[in-house]
Amino acid sequence: MEIFKGSGVALVTPFDKYGNVDYETLKKLIDFQIENETDAIIICGTTGESSTLSYEEHQKCIQTCIEHVNKRIPVIAGTGSNCTKSAITMSKEAEQLGADGLLIVTPYYNKTTQKGLINHYSKIAEQVKIPIILYNVPSRTGCNIEPETVKEIVKRNPNVVAIKEASGNITNVAKIIDLLEGKIDVYSGNDNQIVPILSLGGIGVISVVANILPRETHNLVMNYLNGNQEKSKEEQIKMLKLIKTLFKEVNPIPVKKALELMHMCEGTLREPLIEMEEEHTKQLIKEMQNYGIKF
């Protein structure tokens, strides 16, 4: 059950200068993405600062996104938690709101065993009918989903259909694709590894850089999938310096600064995230200009 193929944007959550969620700007960002060929919107993920949204804000962001997208492209809601019960509640509500899929990160901080991951994802999957994307990002969670665990989760739960792989471990990705034999779709969770993961059989990316380069990220993926691998590799290499600068500090600090420079939204962050350092901002401006982004 393919949710999308191509570039899904891990959308930022815009805040006004007082730190409140700016829902009108959120709608404008969504329109910018759709007008520039983004293939799916991922709302309330890591880049969306979901960990600092209140429960009410989290649900309203998902609802606002679903209603404003209005079925133009798939909307995937981030409903992961380190509490299985909370993840179930958020997932059921996102389904009721009309989400096309769910992105569910591994439990963080308290973590769990591999058997615990099977239990966690199975209990969530049993409570919803819409497709689920596993989210593996051990650099943030301290918890890695082993390929054998992915296989067991998928075997038990037919609505677990994909994985966002942000481990940075290409061997891990290759093993998942080999073990699952086409039973799961793989999305790159790292913008600097889009082409490598596509080359192993991935079908797209859940992207940070797509916040500022939606059309270019879409083209990078689709060129590869449509047989123009050389063009895709050129695009990946062209983006690398900018991507590196977007991760000079913890995501989404740099990408929000980039959107602010582009006059797309305020660069306001929720603490503990703070303003990007001046030297890094200068580097970001330089790489954006080198790429040809106007602001």
pLDDT in tens, 41-67: 999 999 999 999 999 999 999 999 999
The pLDDT value given to residue 152: 98
Average pLDDT over residues 217-226: 98
If pLDDT is split at 50, 70 and 90, which confidence band does 295 have?
Answer: confident
Residue that wins the pLDDT comparison between 182 and 32: 32
Give mean pLDDT, residues 257-264.
97
Q: Rounded distance, CA 180 to CA 205, Å?
A: 19
Sorted by sequence, the CB contacts under 8 Å of residue 272 that are 6+ apart come out as: none
The torsion angles phi and psi of 265, rounded to 5 degrees, stand at -165, 165
What is the pLDDT averaged over residues 8-23? Answer: 97
The 3-state DSSP class for residue 8 equals strand
pLDDT (tens digit per residue) in 268-286? 999 999 999 999 999 999 9
Is 76 domain-assigned?
Answer: yes
**pLDDT at 23 (0 to 100):** 98
- The reported pLDDT for the residue numbered 90 is 98
Domain that holds residue 155: 6-228
Q: What is the mean pLDDT of the chain?
A: 97
**271 domain-assigned:** no
The pLDDT of residue 204? 98
CATH code at 27? 3.20.20.70
Is 168 a domain residue? yes
Please check whether residue 182 lies inside any domain of the structure: yes
Whether 95 has a pLDDT exceeding 90, the answer reads yes
pLDDT in tens, 128-165: 999 999 999 999 999 999 999 999 999 999 999 999 99
Alpha helices (runs of H) in the chain, residue ranges in sequence order: 23-35, 55-69, 84-97, 114-125, 138-141, 147-156, 170-180, 194-200, 214-225, 229-246, 253-261, 278-291
**Residue 266 placed within a domain:** no
Which residue from 278, 284, 259 is spatially nearest to 269, judged by alpha carbons?
259
* pLDDT(221) > 90: yes
Confidence class for position 294, pLDDT limits 50, 70, 90 = confident
Task: Return the residue matching tokens 């900018």.
Answer: 242
| Residue 119 pLDDT level (bands cut at 50, 70, 90) | very high
Phi-psi region of 44 (alpha: psi -120 to 50; beta: other; left: phi over 0): left
Q: 282 in a domain, yes or no?
A: no
Number of folded domains that form the chain: 1
| 35 inside domain | yes
Q: What is the pLDDT of residue 99?
A: 98
Does residue 171 sit within a domain? yes
Place of tokens 């065993």: 113
- CA-nearest of 157, 55, 47, 153 to 106 is 153
Q: In which band, very low, low, confident or very high, does the pLDDT at 5 lie, cut at 50, 70 and 90?
A: very high
SS (H, E, C) 195-220: HHHHHHCCCEEEECHHHCCHHHHHHH
**Residues taking part in catalysis:** 135, 164
